[in-house]
Each structure stands twice: as C-alpha cells, then as structure tokens.
C-alpha cells in the first residue's frame, strides 16, 4: 500500500520520469520480499524438521535472490540507456557499445547471483572456483585474438580517433571512407568501391591519418607546376590565383594561395594551394585544376619547361690522336 499509493503518488507529481521508472522496477521485488519474509516467519512457527526447514528457507532465499537480481539488471539497463544519450558523461558508453555493456551486466549479475545461491545452500565453492579459473584460462588462450579485437573496439569507440564518414589513410597505404565501426572490426570503403575489413586490434596499434580530422572537414589540395626561367613571376601568380575562382567545389575560405617553392634544375617550382569541402572531392578537383592550369598557361603564353641537360665534350687523347669537338649536345 505504501509503494502503490503513497510513494507512487509522490513520484507522479514530479517532472522527472526516471523516478517513476525506478519505482516500477522496485515494486515487484519489494512485493515478493514481503511475501517471502512472511512465509519465512510461518516456517519458523511451524517448527519443521531441520532438513525440511533448511530446504524451505533455501528455496525462499533463492526466489528472493532471483527477484532482486532481475531488478538490478533492469535498473542498470535503465541507467546505461540514460548515460548513452549524453556522450559528455562517459564517452565509452554509446549507442553502438550499449549491447556490449548490457551483456556484461547480465553476466556479472548472473555470476554474483549464482555465487550467493551457492552460499545459501552451503555448497563448497573451492572446486567450482578452481574449475572456473582453469576454464577461463583456456578460453582466454583460445580466443585471445577475439578478445584483443573486442577491447580494441571498445577503446576506439571511447577515444574516437575517427568516426563514420571520415576519410582515413592506413599505415599500409589504403585510403577510404569509414562505413562501419564495430566491436570486432572497422570497415573502410575505398574510391574503387572495394570494402576493406580491418580487425580493431590492428586499428588500435597502427598509425592512421584522418583526413577529415582537425578543426574542420576541409581538405587542402596542392597543384604543383613549374615555369620556365625568365617567366614573369607576378603574372604566373595572378593567373594561378584566378583559376580556382571558376570552381564551386573550391572553398572561398580559406582563400587559395600560391607559394614559390624552389629554384629547380629546369624550372621555377610553384605550388597552388586550395581547400575543398570534403576529402572525397580531392581527386576530381585536382584533375580539374591541373587541366585548367595547363590550358590557361598555353593561353597566357607561360612556358612549362621539360627537364633538359647540356653535355659538353672535351678533347680526349686516344692513341696519340686528339679528338676535338666544339658544339655541345643537348639532351
């Protein structure tokens, strides 16, 4: 009566729904606990023989343990669901990892309940604990790779080095979009529409380049081009800066810029730096910019030199004869 009328009436007046849910979880175990306590008092008054009394009390305690174990599981599941909605509390508990923690919770509560039930029935746990230790050791050796992937998956979700939709480059050179982050593996879709499945144990112990990481998702494209010695550098820079303005996929902020990198063997090496909105646009935008630079340089009369070398032949005495040459050969 206290729980169903007085306490429930108080909780219904509050704005929070959590207290109502907690009350619904506790109502049944409290109800059964009162009944079981009454039955235990009746058993003592009836003064059964020791064997029957032991069995009766053991059954009543076992039922109470199972009722409260079920209530504990329901309560912690409710708590985990509440925590998973706000990642600012615990980054480790998210929607993707919620089934894992629910299963771990069930295993822990079940194991603890069995341990308490064994104590109630005066069962010696020494042999059981030893057997469980040997079995656990055998399972850990047999499933060490699976366990490594499992723990690495949990740490990846908690640390969040990458997320769904990010373009990453693996240490082995593969590049693609992250399409799935599971407990056992991570899936990457390359630009050739080839899916790469990488175990989380490898993802957690290798260097990963996240092209979509940082302050924003924008990605910088570099167009390297060389111009001939004697070219008007100021004109080259104006032409290069004017080319990206014709493409919508090139970001206005940050603005495109040109850098004079070095004096090459055959050219003055320039570099056009532009930003695209997403890393997936890198290949297409780079193709368009290279094509536009080549066409525009031809239109503006800016020469793109090819590597060349001058070879000078000197007089060399061969068998008391001298071979002379004056004209250099260009290669």
| Distance from C-alpha of 76 to C-alpha of 110, rounded to nearest angstrom | 13
Residue where the block lists tokens 């600012």: 88
> In the predicted model, what is the mean pLDDT of residues 259-282?
93
pLDDT interval class at 241 (50, 70, 90): very high
**Cβ neighbours of residue 124 closer than 8 Å, sequence gap 6 or more:** none
Task: Return the domain boundaries, the chain.
Answer: 2-123, 160-210, 219-300
Q: Does 307 or 90 have the greater pLDDT score? A: 307
pLDDT tens readout for residues 119-158: 999 888 777 777 777 777 777 676 678 778 877 887 787 7
pLDDT beyond 60 at 30: yes
Stated pTM of the model: 0.59
Q: How far apart are CA 324 and CA 316, in angstroms?
A: 7
Residue 24 CA to residue 4 CA, distance in Å, equals 10
CA distances from 329 to 81, 100, 207, 219, 321 (A): 79, 74, 49, 46, 22
The region that residue 193 occupies, defined by phi over 0 for left and psi between -120 and 50 for alpha, beta otherwise, is: left
**Tokens standing for 25?**
């979880």
DSSP state of 160: -
DSSP designation for 113: H
**Quick one: tokens of 259?**
């850098």
> Which CATH topology does 160-210 take?
SH3 type barrels. (2.30.30)
Is residue 329 a contact partner of residue 313, using CB atoms and an 8 Å limit?
yes
Distance (Å, whole) CA 153 – CA 147: 10
Domain 219-300 class, CATH top level: alpha beta
Residue range 55-76: average pLDDT? 94
Contacts of 186 (CB under 8 A, 6+ apart): 156, 178, 180, 197, 198, 200, 203
Rounded to 10°, the helix 18-46/50-84 angle is 180
Which DSSP state fits 181? E
Structure tokens, 278: 């997403």
* DSSP single-letter state for residue 255: P
Residue 154: how many CB atoms within 10 A of its CB?
A: 19
Mean pLDDT, residues 39-66 taken together: 92
91-118 residue pLDDT tens: 667 776 776 788 788 889 998 999 899 8
SS (H, E, C) 277-320: CCHHHHHHHHHHHHHHHHHHHHHHCCCCCCCCCEECCCCEEECC
Read off the pLDDT of residues 276-300 as tens digits, 9 standing for 90 and up.
998 989 999 999 999 999 999 999 9
């Amino acid at each position: 009566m206290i729980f169903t009328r007085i306490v429930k009436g108080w909780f219904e007046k509050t704005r929070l729904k959590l207290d109502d849910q907690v009350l619904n979880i506790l109502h049944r175990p409290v109800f059964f606990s009162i009944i079981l306590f009454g039955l235990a008092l009746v058993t003592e008054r009836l003064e059964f023989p020791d064997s029957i009394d032991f069995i009766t009390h053991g059954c009543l305690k076992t039922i109470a343990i199972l009722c409260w174990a079920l209530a504990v599981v329901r309560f912690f599941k409710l708590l985990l669901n509440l925590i998973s909605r706000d990642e600012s509390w615990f980054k480790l508990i998210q929607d993707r990892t919620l089934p894992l923690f629910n299963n771990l919770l069930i295993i822990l509560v079940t194991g603890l309940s069995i341990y308490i039930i064994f104590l109630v029935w005066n069962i010696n746990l020494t042999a059981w604990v030893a057997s469980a230790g040997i079995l656990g050791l055998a399972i850990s050796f047999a499933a060490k790779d699976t366990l490594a992937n499992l723990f690495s998956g949990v740490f990846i979700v908690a640390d969040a080095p990458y997320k769904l939709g990010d373009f990453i480059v693996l240490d082995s050179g593969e590049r693609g979009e992250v399409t799935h982050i599971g407990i056992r593996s991570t899936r990457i879709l390359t630009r050739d529409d080839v899916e790469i499945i990488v175990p989380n144990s490898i993802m957690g112990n290798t260097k990963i380049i996240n092209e979509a990481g940082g302050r924003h998702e924008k990605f910088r494209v570099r167009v390297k081009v060389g111009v001939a010695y004697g070219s008007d550098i100021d004109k080259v820079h104006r032409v290069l800066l004017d080319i990206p303005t014709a493409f919508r996929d090139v970001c206005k902020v940050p603005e495109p810029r040109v850098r004079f990198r070095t004096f090459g063997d055959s050219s003055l090496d320039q570099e056009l730096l532009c930003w695209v909105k997403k890393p997936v646009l890198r290949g297409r935008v780079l193709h368009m910019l290279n094509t536009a630079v080549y066409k525009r340089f031809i239109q503006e009369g800016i020469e793109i030199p090819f590597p060349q070398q001058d070879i000078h032949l000197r007089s060399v005495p061969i068998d008391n004869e001298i071979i002379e040459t004056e004209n250099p050969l260009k290669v």
